[in-house]
Structure formats: structure tokens, C-alpha cells
């Protein structure tokens, strides 16, 4: 069956939506040759048409009736974000026989399995490369290229704002608040940066990657989340002294205990590939059983880079429609347990501020032993503060999160043992 055109409806004309429209207009001839049919923009849904002034957007295509637009397209591109009304619009498109392309990580992290099932039921596609890692191709490799392998773990820097902040703190020695203000001024951070610095943006991406890697219904609420808002200059210096770098990672893994998913700051060896990812760049490190280690690196945000991933999905689903086919489904067959965050294991580095008194170190190590926490190394620094206290660093072997925190609480309760400065995970191979 010949296709003269593929009707595309665009929901949203913000930063990414505008750049997607530009690519569809400027690359129309090239895309037609790749697809075998012309991509025809049939409508662009926006809240206020008067606010749209991009030269490549035909104003006659603008509409505020988003729901109606989803009923008259072959491909619906959802770029408005959020849960509702985006979920309603995506379901309407799927149920009216349109394939969907979306960059909406929050929606997929909360309702992904429902949408994947709706796409399969209606015999259409749902593609979402731009939802994780911006321009980085990571969704398609997990969904298609690696289906012949068993993925054991994924570790990713998937939020450019937090990586920029930590990188500036590390390379320039700046305080967190100072760098955050700079990031906001440069457009790397939102006016309300909570989703980024609190780790919630990365957590949504962790949930999506878990579904693709482990074929299990993993939602945002299943992801343990810690942000970077409490990282200090002294934490950065402590990491440097250990030849390590602090990064905010999304980490998902599967082992005999089950599936775990978390977002948290962690001290990486300075020579680890992820430790070298600078600025607002993203990178995802995948450990496959047969493929071994793979890393995907590139621009994790920005209008044009993200739009490149969106248009890549548009071309793909348009090709499928011309061929009368769809891409692979997303099977969710696993019933592996989801490991509670408190049971997840890691090595930790705990920094104490301790008085220079006989028996302090012995008492702290005694409390660690009472909780069954094995100490890898202990180091007391000679430099004193104004009260004559020293910093004591204790690095542990692998221990569950709830055990190390109970241990630290008991040390803190010992008034003569000093104070806890910080606790942070330490990456060990």
C-alpha cells in the first residue's frame, strides 16, 4: 500500500517541541527519502498560539484543542511533559490508532506499562528515546540491541544539572549554592531545581531503564532517591584525597536477591569512565553478561540534541507505518522481587569529627563490630579544628544501608565519640 504522507501531530512547542518542528521542516526531503513517504505536520497543540513566533512554524497549524488533534494523526508527538493531561492525550492517540513518540520521563516512570500495553493492544508503536539521556541512544539499545544478552547492572549520569554542579564544585572548588546560581543563570538549572538536585528527574529515568533491562514493572515509587543538596566542599575534598570523584548516579541492577533501583551520590575512582564525564554531559554505563561493559555518552539535554532523538523516533515509527508493521513490544514477564532500599548493599565512607582522646577510635570500631560492619580502612587526620578535634575517615566493606545507618546512629549517641560529618557510598568493583 502506497503512502503519500504520514500525518504528524505535535503536542507542545516549547524548547524541544520547537526544535522538533524545525527539523521536520528543514529535513523534510531527507526524511521522505528515508521513510518512503512524506511527513506532514497536521497540527501543533499549544496553550497560547500568540506566544509562538518561530519562523519555521506555520501558525495556521496551531491549535488549543489538543485532544481533538490526537484523533486525526498517524503519529502523535507528546512534548508537553507532566502526568496529566499528557497521559490522557497519549492514551487517546494510541486508542485512535496513532503511534506515539514522547520524551515524557515522568509519565513513563509512573504509567509506562499501561501505555506499552495500550500500544500493543492497538497495534501501534510507542517510542521514547529522548526520555532518557537526551540525544544519547540508550533506550533503543536496551529495548532492541541487547535483547540477546542478560543485563546485570546499569549506572548512569542522567541529569546534566547535577553533573554540572558537581563538576564545577570539583574542578573550581566552588560551594554548592554558588554553582547552583551559576547553573540557573546559564539555563542549566530550572528556577525551581528540586527535581534535578533532589534526584527525582534521574529516578524517573532509572525506573524506565529498569523496565527495559529487567522486563519488570518498576515504577518511580520503587526507586530509592537521594539528591546532592547536602554535598559540601569538604565532601569534595575528601573524595579528592581518596583519588575519587563524587557523581550522582542512577543505578539499577538485578541479582539473586532481586531488582534494585536507586539514585544517589557515590564516590567513583578517578579513573572510572563515568568519573571523567564533565559539565552537563550524560553517560550511561551498561554491564552485560555476554557483551561486558558498554558506555553511551553525549548531550543529555538541550533543545536541538533532544529533538534529534525525537525526530529519530518519528522517522522510525513512520517507517513502520509505511511497512505495515510495528517495532518490538516491551514484554513485562519478570516477577523478580524489588529489593527494598534499606536492604541494598554498598561500601561506605563515613567521616567523623572526633576529640583527640584515648579510646575514641577503639569505641567507634567496637560499635561497628557490634553491628557486624567490617572496616576496610580507618584514617585519622592530623590537622585540628579550633576545638582540637580531628577528622576520622572509616571506609567499610559492603554492608546494607539500614545496618550502616543504625551503626552511625549508635556512634552519634556516644557523646564522647564525636560527631558524624557525612556518610557516602563508595563504588567498588
Confirm or deny that 13 is annotated as ligand binding.
yes
For residue 423, give the C-alpha cell: 556518610
Distance in angstroms (rounded) separating the CA atoms of residues 260 and 254 = 6
Distance in angstroms (rounded) separating the CA atoms of residues 55 and 73 = 23
Confirm or deny that 11 is annotated as ligand binding.
yes
Contact partners, residue 186, CB within 8 Å, separation at least 6 = none
Ramachandran class of 388: left when φ > 0, alpha when ψ lies in -120 to 50, beta otherwise: left
| Catalytic residue of the set 7, 59, 186, 205 | 205
Q: How long, in residues, is the chain?
A: 429
Confirm or deny that 210 is annotated as ligand binding.
no
Ramachandran class of 299: left when φ > 0, alpha when ψ lies in -120 to 50, beta otherwise: beta
Contact partners, residue 305, CB within 8 Å, separation at least 6 = 134, 135, 298, 299
| 205 catalytic residue (yes or no) | yes
Pairing of strands 62-63, 38-45: parallel
Confirm or deny that 307 is annotated as ligand binding.
no
Confirm or deny that 16 is annotated as ligand binding.
yes
Confirm or deny that 12 is annotated as ligand binding.
yes
Confirm or deny that 14 is annotated as ligand binding.
yes
Confirm or deny that 186 is annotated as ligand binding.
no
φ, ψ at 198 (rounded to 5°): -80, -5
Query: Taking a C-beta distance cutoff of 8 angstroms, is the pair 111, 100 a contact?
Result: no
Confirm or deny that 91 is annotated as ligand binding.
no
Q: What's the Cα-to-Cα distance from 238 to each of 177, 241, 245, 278, rounded to whole Å?
A: 19, 5, 9, 19
Confirm or deny that 18 is annotated as ligand binding.
yes
- Known binding residues: 11-18, 105, 190
- Known binding residues for NADPH: 105
- Known binding residues for NADP(+): 11-18
- Known binding residues for L-homoserine: 190
> Which residues have a catalytic role annotated?
205
Amino acid at each position: 500500500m502506497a503512502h503519500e504522507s504520514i500525518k504528524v501531530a505535535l503536542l507542545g512547542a516549547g524548547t524541544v517541541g520547537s526544535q522538533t518542528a524545525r527539523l521536520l521542516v528543514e529535513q523534510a526531503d531527507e526524511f521522505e527519502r528515508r521513510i518512503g513517504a512524506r511527513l506532514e505536520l497536521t497540527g501543533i497543540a499549544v496553550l497560547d498560539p500568540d506566544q509562538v513566533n518561530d519562523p519555521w512554524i506555520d501558525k495556521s497549524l496551531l491549535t488549543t484543542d489538543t485532544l481533538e488533534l490526537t484523533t486525526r494523526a498517524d503519529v502523535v508527538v507528546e512534548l508537553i511533559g507532566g502526568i496529566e493531561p499528557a497521559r490522557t492525550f497519549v492514551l487517546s492517540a494510541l486508542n485512535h490508532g496513532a503511534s506515539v513518540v514522547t520524551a515524557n520521563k515522568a509519565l513513563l516512570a509512573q504509567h509506562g506499562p499501561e501505555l506499552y500495553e495500550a500500544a500493543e493492544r492497538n497495534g501501534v508503536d510507542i517510542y521514547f528515546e529522548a526520555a532518557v539521556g537526551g540525544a544519547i541512544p540508550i533506550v533503543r539499545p536496551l529495548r532492541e540491541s541487547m535483547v540477546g544478552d542478560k543485563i546485570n547492572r546499569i549506572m548512569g549520569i542522567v541529569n546534566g544539572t547535577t553533573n554540572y554542579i558537581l563538576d564545577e564544585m570539583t574542578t573550581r572548588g566552588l560551594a554548592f549554592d554558588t554553582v547552583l546560581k551559576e547553573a540557573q543563570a546559564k539555563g542549566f538549572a530550572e528556577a525551581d531545581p528540586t527535581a534535578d538536585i533532589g534526584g527525582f528527574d534521574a529516578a524517573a529515568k532509572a525506573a524506565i531503564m529498569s523496565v527495559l533491562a529487567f522486563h519488570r514493572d518498576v515504577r518511580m515509587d520503587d526507586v530509592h532517591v537521594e539528591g546532592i543538596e547536602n554535598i559540601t566542599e569538604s565532601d569534595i575534598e575528601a573524595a579528592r584525597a581518596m583519588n575519587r570523584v563524587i557523581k550522582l548516579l542512577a543505578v539499577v541492577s538485578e541479582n539473586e536477591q532481586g531488582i534494585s533501583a536507586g539514585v544517589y551520590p557515590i564516590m567513583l575512582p578517578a579513573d572510572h569512565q563515568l568519573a571523567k564525564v564533565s559539565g552537563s554531559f550524560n553517560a550511561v554505563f551498561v554491564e552485560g553478561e555476554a557483551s561486558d561493559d558498554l558506555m553511551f555518552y553525549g548531550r543529555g539535554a538541550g533543545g536541538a540534541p533532544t529533538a534529534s532523538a525525537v525526530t529519530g523516533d518519528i522517522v522510525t515509527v513512520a517507517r513502520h507505518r509505511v511497512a505495515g508493521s510495528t517495532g518490538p513490544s516491551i514484554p513485562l514477564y519478570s516477577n523478580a522481587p524489588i529489593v527494598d532500599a534499606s536492604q541494598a548493599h554498598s561500601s561506605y565512607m563515613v567521616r567523623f569529627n572526633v576529640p583527640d582522646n584515648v579510646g575514641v577510635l577503639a569505641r567507634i570500631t567496637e560499635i561497628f563490630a557490634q553491628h557486624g560492619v567490617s572496616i576496610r580502612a580507618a584514617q585519622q587526620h592530623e590537622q585540628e579544628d579550633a576545638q582540637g578535634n580531628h577528622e576520622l575517615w572509616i571506609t567499610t566493606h559492603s554492608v546494607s544501608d539500614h545496618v550502616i545507618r543504625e551503626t552511625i546512629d549508635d556512634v552519634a549517641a556516644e557523646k564522647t565519640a564525636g560527631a558524624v560529618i557525612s556518610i557516602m557510598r563508595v563504588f567498588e568493583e
